Chain A
């Protein structure tokens, strides 16, 4: 029995680390085949695949869906093959895997710095395509009546692609959604259950409205320092709002706890959103330290905020590997 203990521990070690699922490949018609690749014949563009069903498949690249094709091609191009990475980046961009494409452009430039002018040219095409794609997402969301989602896409285009014509279009469209989405978020305050609360939070509401207005103006500005200043002032307005809520609670310790917690969350969510806009703005300029500082401010408010945690990881990755940012 005693000798079994370490053996069991080692079995546990293997189980902990084993991948949960096998690989899979998807065909153009949507069929997914679980299994693993055995060979790729570059001259014939044929992938040999051993299915978990025990069958062997010879799959032409043309018969695979685009993302599976990408997986195959990626496995054939080492990161230090500049020209190969450039071609792969263009393919990846054209199948709308924009973020993946940006990584490949980064690898291409790192492997062969002489490719920089071509990478810049192709990245400009990528930014246009990504902007157009984002606008389509916003329109699709709006067509479904999902104004919040439409607004999220517009904000994404504006903050990720400053200076692009698509960002200018997004700025113009912002007015269609911004007021109604934000009004929905603050309807609890607007419909406050009693006059005491309404009067007590009037100053805070004013600061909150100012924060929203400054955020909108920053989103609709030409970007750069004007946008940054606008967002920084918006955060200050948000902090003033929180102070007013605290003040009210101190004066009225009974009966409002839950309601005020909800108000605080609404304000904090908006402040986090603005910190994320700032982080995105800095990251597009490759000012990764400033971007990280903004993300950390967001995480100081909500340590588990998934968007901020993801953004921090992406910034750290781009900064440490010297990769481009989209």
Chain B
């Protein structure tokens, strides 16, 4: 049982580490995605994914990042 718990802990640690900016909680990760608003047009969006040139999948108005093609997946 102890071994299983150790493996579980390791797997969870891996899970959080591999999530990158998607779910790791830093102050900057609290910055909302403002893509689609008037402010974003002139200020830009500071959402962590947008700053990494990635699309925020939670905001359908996000135009950051490049389009992914099926063959890329």
> What is the count of residue pairs linking A and B with beta-carbon distances less than 8 angstroms?
135
A67 and B55 alpha carbons, distance in the complex (Å):
13
A137 and B23 alpha carbons, distance in the complex (Å):
34
Interface size on B, residues (CB 8 A): 45
Query: Nearest chain A CB to B57's CB is how many angstroms away?
Result: 4
Closest A residue to B57 using CB positions: A19
Query: Nearest chain B CB to A248's CB is how many angstroms away?
Result: 33
Query: Nearest chain A CB to B18's CB is how many angstroms away?
Result: 6
The reply to whether A304 and B30 form a contact with Cβ atoms under 8 Å apart is yes
A13 and B58 alpha carbons, distance in the complex (Å):
18
Residues of B within 8 A of A97 (CB): 41, 63
- Of A3, A23, A24, A70, the contact of B68 (CB 8 Å cutoff): A23
Residues of B within 8 A of A5 (CB): 4-5, 7-8
Known contacts: A37-B67, A72-B67. The answer to whether A13 contacts B14 by CB under 8 A is: yes
- Of A6, A75, A102, A326, the contact of B8 (CB 8 Å cutoff): A6
The reply to whether B57 and A20 form a contact with Cβ atoms under 8 Å apart is yes
The reply to whether A17 and B23 form a contact with Cβ atoms under 8 Å apart is yes
The reply to whether A39 and B60 form a contact with Cβ atoms under 8 Å apart is no
Query: Nearest chain B CB to A16's CB is how many angstroms away?
Result: 5
Query: Nearest chain A CB to B56's CB is how many angstroms away?
Result: 9
Query: Nearest chain B CB to A101's CB is how many angstroms away?
Result: 10
Known contacts: A50-B70, A96-B41, A98-B41. The answer to whether A313 contacts B19 by CB under 8 A is: no
Query: Nearest chain B CB to A23's CB is how many angstroms away?
Result: 7
Contacts A70-B63, A97-B41, A313-B48 known; list 8 others, CB within 8 Å: A2-B4, A6-B11, A8-B8, A13-B14, A19-B57, A23-B67, A50-B70, A303-B27
Chain A: residues with CB nearer than 8 A to chain B?
Answer: 2-3, 5-6, 8-10, 12-13, 16-17, 19-24, 32, 36-40, 50, 67, 70-72, 74-75, 96-100, 102-103, 130, 133-134, 137, 156, 160, 303-304, 306, 309-314, 317, 326
**What are 8 A-B pairs with beta-carbon distances under 8 A?**
A12-B12, A16-B22, A23-B55, A36-B68, A39-B70, A67-B63, A102-B44, A137-B38
